[in-house]
Homo-oligomer: A and B are copies of this chain.
Amino acid sequence: MTEVARTRARLPIDERRAQLLDLGRRLFVERPYDEISIDDIAAEAKISKGLLYHYFPSKRSFYVETVRVAAADLVARVTETPRQKSPEERLERGIDAYLDYVADNAAAYRTLLTTGIGVDTEIAAIVERTRAVLTERILAELGSKPPPALRVALRGWIGFVEGASLEWVTAGGPSRDVVRKLMIEMLQAALAAVPTLPR
């Protein structure tokens, strides 16, 4: 088989895999992990269980992949504003995208960050990796060699965003604009605090 032919043959497989992951994200948002069986997934996807296993060796691996795709999607959305825009606008749009994501995936977000479905080192590693990537993106925006305190402050701010988002989607209360404004002010406070700190 030539390289071209192989690529062509592989495409539908990737598409099918992507479709299955889309379906998985929807299913795992709608119902708890433990309540969804491989049979349910195959039925929803209108494929055989055998074919599903061809793509994903287990329900757990399928779930891990849906979380990985969801995390990549979050990072892409949060960081999609072009570099031509001002840092302020990119931050604001980034937080907007984050809050959209949280609101659209409230159940999955809450589950991932507060309950046991993760039950799993791989999931925890994806969540932690996502935090690290977002921290690095902000550091890259700020340029130059970051003092260690800045890294601590930014990683803390990511924690702030998560904690505040969880409270917002769980208990409700303030409007989305209030939450966004709070997050922006807290990042400004974190950045402002660092230069005044002894290094």
> Is the pair A161, B159 in contact by a Cβ cutoff of 8 Å?
yes
> Is the pair A128, B114 in contact by a Cβ cutoff of 8 Å?
yes
Q: Tell yes or no: A142 within 8 A of B by CB.
A: no
Consensus secondary structure, chain A interface:
helix
A interface residue count range (under 10 / 10 to 19 / 20 to 34 / 35 or more): 35 or more
Residue of B nearest to A181 (CB): B197
Q: Give the residue of B119, B171, B186 whose beta carbon is less than 8 angstroms from that of A124.
A: B119
Total copies of the chain = 2
> Is the pair A156, B160 in contact by a Cβ cutoff of 8 Å?
yes
A5 to chain B minimum Cβ distance, whole angstroms, is: 42
Q: Give the residue of B116, B157, B172, B178 whose beta carbon is less than 8 angstroms from that of A160.
A: B157
Q: Tell yes or no: A2 within 8 A of B by CB.
A: no
Given A120-B119, A174-B199, also A163-B160 (CB < 8 A): yes
Interface CB pairs A-B, < 8 A, 13:
A116-B121, A116-B123, A119-B124, A147-B173, A149-B173, A149-B182, A152-B174, A156-B159, A156-B164, A158-B163, A159-B163, A182-B190, A186-B189
